[in-house]
Amino acid sequence: MTEKMASASPSYRLTSLSRTRQIVFSSPLVTISTLVLIIIILSALLAPWVVPHDPVRLTPSVRLKPPSDLYWLGTDAFGRDLFSRIITGGRISLVVGVAAAIFAVALGLLLGLMAGYIRWVDAVLMRMVDGLMAIPSILLAIAIVSLWGASLWTVLFAITIPEVPRVVRLVRSIVLSAREEPYVEAAIAAGSPTTLIMRRHLLPNTIAPLIIQGTYICASAILTEAILSFLGAGINPETPSWGNIMAEGRIYFQINPGIVLWPGLVVSVAILSINLLGDAVRDALDPRMAKRGIER
User: CB-side exposure of 262: number of CA atoms within 13 Å?
Assistant: 23
Q: Is 192 in the site for another protein (CB under 8 A)?
A: yes
Considering only residues 190, 195, 254, 288, which one is a binding residue for another protein as defined by CB under 8 A?
Answer: 190
Considering only residues 2, 11, 18, 195, which one is a binding residue for another protein as defined by CB under 8 A?
Answer: 11
The most distant pair of C-alpha atoms in the chain lies apart, rounded to whole Å, by 78
CA distance linking residue 41 with residue 66, whole number of Å? 26
CA distance linking residue 256 with residue 252, whole number of Å? 6
Binding segment (CB under 8 A) for another protein, from list 6-14, 47-55, 77-85, 92-100: 6-14
Q: Is 189 in the site for another protein (CB under 8 A)?
A: yes
Considering only residues 52, 204, 253, 293, which one is a binding residue for another protein as defined by CB under 8 A?
Answer: 204
CA distance linking residue 48 with residue 52, whole number of Å? 9
Q: Is 187 in the site for another protein (CB under 8 A)?
A: yes
DSSP label at residue 237? T
Question: From residue 70, how far is each of 52, 75, 82, 86, 101 by CA, in Å?
Answer: 9, 10, 11, 16, 37
Q: Is 57 in the site for another protein (CB under 8 A)?
A: no
Binding segment (CB under 8 A) for another protein, from list 35-43, 103-111, 154-162, 185-193: 185-193
In this structure, is the dihedral angle defined by the CA atoms of residues 233, 235, 236 and 241, taken in order, positive or negative? Answer: negative
Binding segment (CB under 8 A) for another protein, from list 18-26, 51-59, 87-95, 186-194: 186-194
Q: Is 288 in the site for another protein (CB under 8 A)?
A: no
Q: Binding residues for another protein, per CB under 8 A?
A: 4, 8-9, 11-12, 181-183, 185-193, 196, 200-201, 204, 292, 295-296
